[in-house]
Amino acid sequence: MTQPASAPAGTAAANPAASPDASPDAATLAAFQAAKGFMPVDEGVALYAAAVDAATALRLPLLEVGTYCGRSTILLAAAARAAGTVAVTVDHHRGSEEQQPGWEYHDPEVVDPEVGLMDTLPTFRRTLHAAGLEDHVIAVVGRSPRAAAVWGGPVGLVFIDGGHTDEHATADYEGWTPHLAPGGLLVIHDVFPDPADGGQAPYRVYRRALASGAFAELSVTGSLRVLRRTAA
C-alpha cells in the first residue's frame, strides 16, 4: 500500500546503472495514472527505472510487497514484460492499518459488502486487465512473512510498500531481502526522514539497510529510495 506523498519532492539522484531512457511508455503511464492508488508520477517513473535496471541485468522476478489496487504493479509488470521475466506481488488484500474504517486512507469503494471487510483484489484484477498486463504478474494472496518463508528462489528486486508499522515493515525487510540476488535492487516507499511528513517505520528499515553495509543507495525521488545489494 502507498500513502500520499506529504513531504516535498526529493532531489532525484542519478542511477548510474539505469538507462536514461528507462521511463514508461505512454500506455503504461496512462494505465498507472488511471489506477486507484497514491504513488505520485515522479516516484512511479523512478520505480519503473529501477525495475528496468533489475529486470534487464538479472532476468529474475521482481517482487512487490503491498499490491493494494495495482497502481505500482503496472510499472513492475511492464518492466518485467520487456525483459522476459515476471512481477510477483504479495498482499492479503484486506488493507493496511491506515486503510481501515475510520482512518484517513479508508476507501469504502473497496469494502466487500458481504463480509464487511476491505477486499482490494477485484479492483487489482480489473487494473491489470485494463492495462493488458495479466500475463506478466503472479499475484500471491496472503501475508507477506508467510509467503517469504516458502519462497524458494532469488529475486532481482524487492519493493517494500506494505504495512507501515514497525512490525510489518521489519517483517517485510527480514523476510524478503534474504531472497534478493547480489546486484539486485531494494526499493522502499514512504521513507520520510521528518516524522511530521509521515510514519517512521519505512525510514527505519531504510536506515537499517544502509547500516548493514550490504546496500548502497542509488537514488532518492520524493519518498522513494532505491538501493543496490552489494554484499550478502
Pairing status of strand 224-229 against strand 62-65 = unpaired
The residues annotated as belonging to the active site are 164
Dihedral angle, C-alpha 221, 124, 137, 33, nearest 10 °:
-40
Cell of 174: 527480514
Closest CA to 133 of 222, 15, 48, 40: 48
Residue linked to cell 480489473: 126
Pairing status of strand 117-118 against strand 111-112 = antiparallel
User: Which uninterrupted H or E stretch holds 6?
Assistant: none
Contact in structure between 208 and 77 (CB atoms under 8 Å): no
Cell of 163: 504495512
The CB-side HSE value for 113 (13 A sphere, CA atoms) comes to: 1
Give CA–CA dist 4/71, Å, rounded.
13
